[in-house]
A and B are shown apart, each in its own frame.
Chain A
Amino acid sequence: MQKIGVFVCWCGSNIAGTVDVEAVAEALKSVPGVVYSVSYQYMCSAAGQKLITDAINEYKLDGIVVASCSPRMHENTFRKTAEAAGLNPYMVEIANIREQCSWIHKDKEEGTKKAIVLAKAAVAKLKNDKPLKAGTSQVTKRALVIGGGIAGIQTALDVADAGYEVDIVEQRPTIGGRMAQLDKTFPTLDCSACILTPKMVEASQNEKINIISYAKVEKVSGFVGSFKATIRKKARFVDETKCTGCSLCMQKCPSKKGKDEFNMNMNNRPAIYIPFAQAIPNVAVIDPEQCIKLKTGKCGLCEKVCAAGAINYKMEDELIEREYGAIVVATGFKPIDPSPLNEYGYAENADVVTSLELERLMNAAGPTKGTLLRPSDGKHPHEIVFIQCVGSRCDENTERGKPYCSKICCMYTAKHAMLIRDKYPDTNVHVFYIDVRTPGKNFDEFYRRAVEQYGVDYIKGMVGKVAKEGDKLMVRGSDLINNQQVEIAADLVVLATAIEPDPSARSIGTMLTASMDTNDFFTEAHAKLRPVESPTAGIFLSGVAQGPKDVPETVAQASAAASKVIGLLAKDHLVTNPCVAESNELMCNGCSQCEKVCPYGAITYIEKEVRGPGVREVRRIAQVNPAVCQGCGACTVACPSGAMDLKGFSNKQIMAEVDQICL
């Protein structure tokens, strides 16, 4: 019979308010095996922990049950307490009598009864607990950053600054991401490229940073501290080490029908191209869909003009396999495609553009060389209508868009309006909005300037229809403040489209087993307390991949993620989760059922002589690699003989809990 101590926490009045904690402590005293049972105001406090430590020593306890808040809160706290007192930290069970009892039940008698059952179930589980020893695993002192936008760059720079190697994997031919496409940034109106490109250069010049552009992460295995990633570096057909970025090939390339992705497909680019002038790496890339040589075997002009001899039409995708201690997800976002939102007529009218397209239309490196001209006829627009919340803040039950606020649209629209009014005072700017949200440093001042100083016409209301009439776009909407319908004959309509995670995020999330919300934003380990970590150990979140945010927020989060990465890489060893699967070789059939459901490939088979009561023969048996196993337990159910069990959540432990609960 074990010696078990039970510690019931009041959590001030959080628990004690609806659960008679003393009655719980009293009831647990008569459970066989329980030799000590007590309640206390705050078990997690220093005094509470001392109470536990003293009891462990005085009563020579084999295990403790703490009836308190959720194990997700304080399981670790109490494990450490136990360990400090010389008890195996895994001989600790938590009965969740706060979140799952006192906070949801109002009737004290009922709550008390349930708390007793939960505590008894924890005791029953504890009786089947075995002391577990956590193993250690090595930490590979290198980080992988997926995504080379401002978030990825900032994280990489900070991690590299701390002295660790970082690989940035970027799917496009250059790093820079969305920020590189922006013209100016709010609320300071400084030029986006001017502040971003130095960072890009810094990253490329940092010895610790290795930029793998035009590549994607194809496979990730392993676990915190020792991930192994397979990266597919797509064939550029241009030797990165030789290309000087002279762009002569671009001029000579006869195929000029490729869409310029950097300029939101608003103009064409050659088949061989450098996405933009400040691209890093400043190396050309051949679009195999457009290249005549690659498609027909004829041409080869670029090869001829390239003095560096960098062109290589035979280049193939390259697979890079590297190990990492930590992975940062900085996959960023894209604006949604507003075409399905028929009322805005985006698909039909060239002069209905998204805000990001407008950025390019206003940028000196853009399709119009920085002069605002409307796409349809290249004329100056004189009436411009901005429509806010396009695809944002939608009813969750419709398919029309996203339920969340995209957060950055109010501010960039103010920016756009202001810039246009500043540069083209003859142009009228109207903004249809639902709410204007400006909670940021100098944000509201900025917005007020747009309205007060630049005379931007803000109309609170929704747009019902954008229809082409002649060369005008008739925007019909409602003005809620004046309670009237309005109609504006616009030359250009700009949609502040919602942003959504980059389409690559979902597959990366699956690959990393990092959880995501229903909108495909990565979920943080704790919304408030661990905002830059994924629940999956070793995976960190940087930038919009976690949720909409503007540049300064992104940078802040990127640095925060970097500090978490640095904290991890600074360790030589990690303590592994000992709650892993284990196969009892005497009962194992070697049938491979478990192996098939293991998501980590942690199970292998060996031929081994097994010995036990009445048994001595060579059998094929399963073996679990405890460093690879993550403890999901899929194998335990696939195993018909029950040979496979999960430490810390064993069949017997769970059944003991079931038994108590159903009593």
Chain B
Amino acid sequence: MNSIKSRALELLSDGTVKRVIGWEKGEGEADWSPALFETAEEMNSFVYGDYAGSNLSKYCLKFNLAEGKTLVVLKPCDTLSFNQLLHEHRLNREKFYIIGAGCKGMKDENGRLLKCNACKGKDFEVYDEIIDDEESRKPLNVFDRMIGVAELEKMTAEERYEFWRGELSRCIRCNACRNVCPACTCVKCVFDNPASGVQSKAPVTDFEENMFHIIRAFHVAGRCTDCGECSRVCPQNIPLHLLNRKFIKDMNELYGDHQAGVGTEERTPLTSYTKEDAEPSVVHERGNA
């Protein structure tokens, strides 16, 4: 979409924004990287298109305190993350110029991204202007995103245990999932903090793998927009989104539908309650033991 590029260039040139966060091409056809553009000349390499899969919301944190406005290109699902960060007072809306970019579903070298198969729609939650076209407004064919979770729920406990041991045992604690996650924005992660008492750096035992992933999922529960970046970036191909989606599924079922990053309500299911909430034993009474 050339219009995004020219519009961004225009805003950069007229001084509305000081910098642009977008994408540029790498060595291979599908190897696009998020990139920073500060001059009109640099903007030559700006691209937007099929391989702009990464969620740029998290990069905004780097520029929240920077001088002047930052232009950021966000796809519909990325705006959920951005909005969630606004809910959490992590971003200053004034500091960003958001171009909502139409999206036809993103790809990598292996085809359409997993997260696009669970596309959450084409609405922009927050933007300054939208640049899209007819085709990008068409809804994508998607699968029920909870299928994976439901399949696991159908297994016996022993099967689930074996499944997750198999997956999580590959974890190398590279922290890519955490560092890419737009909900994992702690200035100091508990797992990095010697004072927390739970600092851990390597998946020394099964337990540490479990602990890290359970707590990470728990900390983002209710705040996770299901952007799918964690699974996309995992160098060990661990389906981490299945952990987050489990929480989303449970919360939707028990506490009513909630999509993080939508609207202006800042409370999440875990920072609210009703007197009639289910008892914790409910999770022990359903599905397979």
Contact = CB atoms under 8 A, between A and B. Distances in A.
A635 to B, nearest CB: 10
Contact of B89 (A591, A617, A638, A641): A591
B266 interface: yes
B271 A640 contact: no
A589 interface: yes
Contact of A640 (B65, B186, B198): B186
B215 to A, nearest CB: 9
Interface stretch (A194-202, A238-246, A351-359, A592-600): A592-600
Interface in A325-374: none
B139 to A, nearest CB: 32
Interface in A203-226: none
B280 interface: no
A587 B88 contact: no
Nearest to B272: A596
Given A593-B271, A640-B219, A620 B189 contact: no
A589 B185 contact: yes
Contacts of A590: 88-90
A611 B267 CA distance: 30
The 10 closest A-B pairs by CB, nearest first: A641-B186, A640-B219, A596-B271, A591-B88, A642-B190, A642-B196, A587-B188, A652-B197, A655-B197, A597-B271
A395 to B, nearest CB: 24
B67 to A, nearest CB: 13
A596 B266 contact: yes
A59 interface: no
A233 to B, nearest CB: 29
Most buried by B among A586, A593, A596: A593
A662 to B, nearest CB: 12
B28 to A, nearest CB: 36
A596 B65 CA distance: 25
Contact of A620 (B89, B188, B271, B272): B89
Interface of B: 65, 88-90, 185-190, 193, 195-198, 219-220, 266-268, 270-272
Given A592-B266, A605-B89, A587 B187 contact: yes
17 contacts: A586-B187, A587-B186, A587-B187, A587-B193, A589-B187, A590-B89, A590-B90, A591-B89, A591-B90, A592-B89, A596-B267, A620-B89, A638-B270, A640-B219, A642-B190, A642-B195, A651-B197
A620 B190 CA distance: 19
A588 interface: yes
A23 B188 CA distance: 44
Given A588-B187, A589-B185, A596-B266, A642 B193 contact: yes
Contacts of B89: 590-592, 605, 620
Contacts of B220: 640
Given A596-B271, A638-B270, A640-B219, A617 B65 contact: yes
A308 interface: no
Given A587-B193, A597-B271, A638-B271, A618 B185 contact: no
Contacts of B186: 587, 589, 640-641
A580 B89 CA distance: 24
B196 A592 contact: no
B189 A641 contact: yes
A235 B242 CA distance: 57
A605 to B, nearest CB: 7
Contacts of A652: 195, 197
Most buried by B among A587, A590, A651: A587
B186 to A, nearest CB: 4
Nearest to B216: A640
A588 B65 CA distance: 16
A349 B23 CA distance: 83
Contacts of A640: 186, 190, 219-220
Nearest to A638: B271
Nearest to B191: A642
Contact of A589 (B88, B267, B272): B88
B57 to A, nearest CB: 15
Contacts of B88: 589-593
B90 A589 contact: yes
Nearest to B219: A640
A263 B90 CA distance: 62
A605 B219 CA distance: 21
Contacts of A596: 266-267, 271-272
B210 to A, nearest CB: 16
Contacts of A618: 65
B143 to A, nearest CB: 30
B187 A641 contact: yes
B65 A641 contact: no
Contacts of B190: 640-642
Given A640-B190, A641-B193, 5 more contacts: A589-B187, A591-B90, A617-B65, A620-B89, A641-B189
Contacts of A619: 187
A590 B86 CA distance: 11
Contacts of B267: 596
Interface in A588-641: 588-593, 596-597, 605, 617-620, 638, 640-641
A641 B90 contact: no
A652 B190 CA distance: 12
